[in-house]
Amino acid sequence: MPGDEITIETGDWATLSEPCSHIRRLVFIQEQSVDESEELDALDAVCTHFLIVDGQIPCGTARLLPDGHIGRVAILTTHRGLGLGARLMHHVIEHARAKHFTECALSAQTHATGFYEQLGFVAHGAVYMDAGIPHRDMTLALA
């Protein structure tokens, strides 16, 4: 169970690259076998990054691209199933709303589409492969 001190930091890549890239390496590169060259990309430099912290433990991350796409959503295995992913996503969505985006979009791994649907995202289009993992596009209207 997470501690009482759950915080979410918002910043640029220069500020949050160390903890965010560490989480992404563990979740995407080690756990899901995504190639590092696909996972850590040039878009990181232009994104807003989010880091969820349990006490002193960085345990999750996400990024928001300048066009409203949400990506690289990851929660460490030790902190899954505790509602932290939803908490992080609500924070990212509110940040997008404050930036006056009319919608958020993401590319969801198919096993996670139910999670995103609970947040109001709607799946569309066919399933496709990205980094060897089946994905589906999803959007959330922010009006």
Find the helix or strand (DSSP H, E) in which 105 lies: strand 103-109
Confidence (pLDDT) at 37: 87
* Residue 119, burial from CB neighbour count under 10 angstroms (0-12, 13-18, 19+): middle
Is residue 61 within 8 Å of residue 19, measured between CB atoms? yes
- CATH code of the domain in which 75 resides: 3.40.630.30
Per-residue model confidence (pLDDT) at position 3:
56
Helix (H) or strand (E) holding 123: strand 122-130
What is the model's pLDDT at position 61?
98
Q: Is residue 15 part of a domain?
A: yes
Range of the domain at 41: 6-141
Angle at 31 between CA 73 and CA 18, to 5 degrees: 55
Residue 33, φ and ψ in degrees, nearest 5:
60, 35
**Is 1 within the bounds of a domain?**
no
Give the chain's domain count: 1
Both tokens of residue 24? Answer: 């992404």
Question: Averaged in consecutive runs of 10 residues, what is the pLDDT profile of the chain (143 residues)?
Answer: 81 98 97 92 96 96 97 97 96 97 97 97 96 96 90
Question: Rounded to two decimals, what is the model's pTM?
Answer: 0.94
User: Cα 58 to the chain's mean position, in Å?
Assistant: 14
State the pLDDT at residue 143: 78
What pLDDT, on the 0 to 100 scale, is given for residue 101?
96
The reply to whether 109 falls in a domain is: yes
44 found inside a domain: yes
Structure tokens, 133: 């993992």
